């Protein structure tokens, strides 16, 4: 049966292959060593959401309005809460009617945005490596996708100086995000200020994906809303998935220039209604009753980061200390390269021999090749046990 060309352009990425491998491993309960699966391949938090958020959802679940469709107008209490949070968190006034949009996860927003901005063939720029919805959304919009390579040598910082003026003139949109997944780099406000300034001067939209804004471990996260020019051509995405640990509830929001919010809302009106009002009550409670929950979450990740890096160093795997929570970004070891293993092959081998699932870096673009991402989504003791499990295999190989 025919499927669209864009389906083949989306392709079956390394994430699908990894998912199939994990599923097969789980179902056969095999592993050459009979180990159970330790899944560190997804940034899906094992930390509980704030109790106040869960209580608010429970209290509202039985209300009749919670089970009916929720059109945009009914999201007003949520949008007004976001506006107050924005004032408290960043000292910035935003208009809840015109500049805020409720989303079914920030991934949904970054994936749909190109459909709202680009015509087929228009140029969109992403970072390489980057979160898959940045590229995926541009594929859905039939964009001509360009990428700006990040490198370890440059601390995974973008060098916008590599983009010529004529290149910038042809761009219609750029999607990026700092703190950056998968490289676990916080970045600097100056990157975002620079790119927003370029967006205004060269007439392209800047989309800043910022679900980790509250999860910097070193330094301060960049925020597009602090950059001059966002009200002209900028939009920023925030999420309840990471710092409030509510990923399964699929709630997020965008704040941005009114024409962009309006265009994205139009696309969404074809695709979805909003999440239930009961879930929105949970999000409202998270922002109003547990605004410091991200601090608790950050401290948990800080301890996990430090203990896991110590454990890995003790077996000889030298991993750079990441400046943000949730992930380690690990170079594949020299012995693996000498044997011709790439990141995907090494991740498959690691899963088969030890039951530990990591994400191959090339799943985030060619710029992630030869790196593996480890999500710190288990308590420190279990992460240390995972490294202890890895040790005999590592010693045998190296």
We find the least distance from the C-beta atom of residue 324 to ligand PLP, in angstroms, to be 10
Tell me how long the chain is: 398
276: DSSP letter:
P
Q: How many residues bind ligand PLP (CB under 6 A)?
A: 13
Which residue's beta carbon is nearest to the bound ligand PLP? 105
Residue 209 engages ligand PLP in binding (rule: CB under 6 A): yes
Closest CB to ligand PLP among residues 247, 256:
247
Give the angle 216-220-226 at the CA atoms, nearest 5°.
125
Residue 327 engages ligand PLP in binding (rule: CB under 6 A): no
Residue 363 engages ligand PLP in binding (rule: CB under 6 A): no
Would you say 322 and 217 are in contact if contact means Cβ atoms under 8 Å apart? yes
We find the least distance from the C-beta atom of residue 129 to ligand PLP, in angstroms, to be 11
Closest CB to ligand PLP among residues 75, 239:
239
Would you say 352 and 31 are in contact if contact means Cβ atoms under 8 Å apart? yes
**β-bridge partners, 171:** 123
228: DSSP letter:
T
> Segment contacting ligand PLP (CB under 6 A): 64-72, 113-121, 239-247, 387-395?
239-247
Residue 252 engages ligand PLP in binding (rule: CB under 6 A): yes
The dihedral of CA 216, 220, 226, 229: what is its sign? negative
> Is 73 exposed, middle or buried (CB count within 10 Å of its CB: 0-12, 13-18, 19+)?
exposed
Closest CB to ligand PLP among residues 124, 211:
211
> Segment contacting ligand PLP (CB under 6 A): 104-112, 141-149, 153-161, 329-337?
104-112
Residues 162-191: x where in contact with ligand PLP by CB under 6 A, - otherwise, as a string:
---------------x---x----------
Closest CA to 279 of 250, 253, 255: 250
CA distance 353 to 30: 10
Give contact residues for ligand PLP (rule: CB under 6 A): 43, 105-107, 131, 177, 181, 209, 211, 239, 241, 247, 252
């Amino acid at each position: 049966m025919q499927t669209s060309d864009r389906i083949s352009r989306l392709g079956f990425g390394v994430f699908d292959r990894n998912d199939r491998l994990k599923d097969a491993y789980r179902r056969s309960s095999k592993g050459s060593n009979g180990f159970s699966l330790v899944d560190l391949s997804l940034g899906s938090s094992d930390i509980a959401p704030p109790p106040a958020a869960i209580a608010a959802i429970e209290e509202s679940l039985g209300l009749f309005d919670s089970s009916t469709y929720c059109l945009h107008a009914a999201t007003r209490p949520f949008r007004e809460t976001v506006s107050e949070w924005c004032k408290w968190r960043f000292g910035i006034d935003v208009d809840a009617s015109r500049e805020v949009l409720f989303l079914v996860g920030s991934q949904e927003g970054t994936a749909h945005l190109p459909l709202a901005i680009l015509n087929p063939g228009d140029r969109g720029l992403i970072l390489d490596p980057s979160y898959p919805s940045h590229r995926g959304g541009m594929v859905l919009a039939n964009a001509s996708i360009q990428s700006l390579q990040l490198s370890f040598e440059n601390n995974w910082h973008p060098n916008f100086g590599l983009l010529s003026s004529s290149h910038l003139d042809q761009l219609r949109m750029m999607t990026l995000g700092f703190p950056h997944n998968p490289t676990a780099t916080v970045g600097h406000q100056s990157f975002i200020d620079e790119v927003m300034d370029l967006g205004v001067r060269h007439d392209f939209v800047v989309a800043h994906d910022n679900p980790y804004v509250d999860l910097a471990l070193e330094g301060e996260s960049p925020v597009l809303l602090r950059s001059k020019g966002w009200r002209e051509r900028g939009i920023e995405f925030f999420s309840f998935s990471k710092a409030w640990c509510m990923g399964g509830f699929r709630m997020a929001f965008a704040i941005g220039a009114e024409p962009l919010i309006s265009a994205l809302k139009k696309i969404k009106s074809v695709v979805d209604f909003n999440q239930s009002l009961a879930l929105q009550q949970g999000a409202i409670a998270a922002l109003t009753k547990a605004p410091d929950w991200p601090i608790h979450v950050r401290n948990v990740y800080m301890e996990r980061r430090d203990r896991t890096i110590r454990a890995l160093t003790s077996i000889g795997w030298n991993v750079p200390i990441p400046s943000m929570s949730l992930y380690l970004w690990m170079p594949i070891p020299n012995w693996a390269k000498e044997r011709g293993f790439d990141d995907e092959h090494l991740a498959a081998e690691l899963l088969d021999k030890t039951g530990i699932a990591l994400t191959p870096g090339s799943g985030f673009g060619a710029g992630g090749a030869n790196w593996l991402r480890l999500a710190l989504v288990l308590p420190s003791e279990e992460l240390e046990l995972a490294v202890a499990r890895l040790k005999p295999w590592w010693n045998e190989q190296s």
